[in-house]
Amino acid sequence: MSMRHFALASFWLNLATATAVAQADSTISVHGIGGVRLCQPMSTVRDRFSLARDTVIESEGVKWPAKVVPVGGGHQILFEASWIDTTHVWRIGTNSAGYRTRHGYRVGMTLGDVRARGEKLRFGYAEGYIVITLLSDQVEALPDDSTARAFLSRSPRAFDSLEALPGSARIKDLGVGADCRH
């Protein structure tokens, strides 16, 4: 093998190894997931995940680009830009139990599991969803739809008592986001 072929083969092997390592990283954090960091260019997603496909998110009459990465079993990672900046990753979310926070929280765990570990939580309501922030990781979790719907329909004051969300509520999605304007 010539030196040129060896150098080219080494380059491709290193690139493939780096991509595999990025995809093998199963931690979701305030920095990102799978080698894609918040505020990086959206093109980075395809560099790290070859199966990424383009999609569009729409909310309140506004649209922005996103990329969906299938991760098996009907689960996915969603990388979103913003309506204000369509070229950078502003939000990352996953509904896959294969990804965990730094402290081991994952999709499928119950709120009771999280509370039993002594996790401090912050509850909020944003764009029609109950949002639970796992404070030690600064990762947001969404409870399953049926629990959220039942909880919010029981009283107009439910928004004032989100902390009383039952321990049986299952985490259906984990996500992180950043404002990339600075």
Q: Is residue 138 part of a domain?
A: yes
Which letter does DSSP use for residue 166 in this model?
-
Establish if 182 belongs to a structural domain. Answer: no
The answer to whether the beta carbons of residues 46 and 59 sit under 8 Å apart is: no
Residue 88 and residue 41 in contact, taking contact as beta carbons nearer than 8 Å: yes
Q: Is 30 inside a domain boundary? A: yes
Give the domain extent around 151: 3-177
The pLDDT assigned to 155 comes to: 63
Q: Is residue 77 part of a domain?
A: yes
Note the pLDDT of residue 29.
96
- 110-143 pLDDT, tens digit each: 999 999 999 999 888 887 788 999 999 999 999 9
Q: How does pLDDT run across 70-98, given as a tens digit for each residue?
A: 999 999 999 999 999 999 999 999 999 99
Q: Which amino acid is at 2?
A: S
Q: Write down the pTM of the prediction.
A: 0.82
> Pick from 73, 74, 94, 81: which is nearest to 26 by CA?
94
CA 93 to chain CA mean position, Å = 2
Q: How many domains does the chain have?
A: 1
Identify the CATH number of the domain in which residue 115 sits: 2.60.460.10
Is 118 part of a structural domain of the chain? yes
Strand bridging mode 75-80 / 62-72 = antiparallel
Average pLDDT over residues 100-117: 96
Closest CA relative to residue 87, chosen from 56, 36, 42: 42
Instruction: Please indicate, yes or no, if residue 63 is contained in any of the structural domains.
Output: yes
Asked if the structure places residue 7 within a domain, the reply is yes
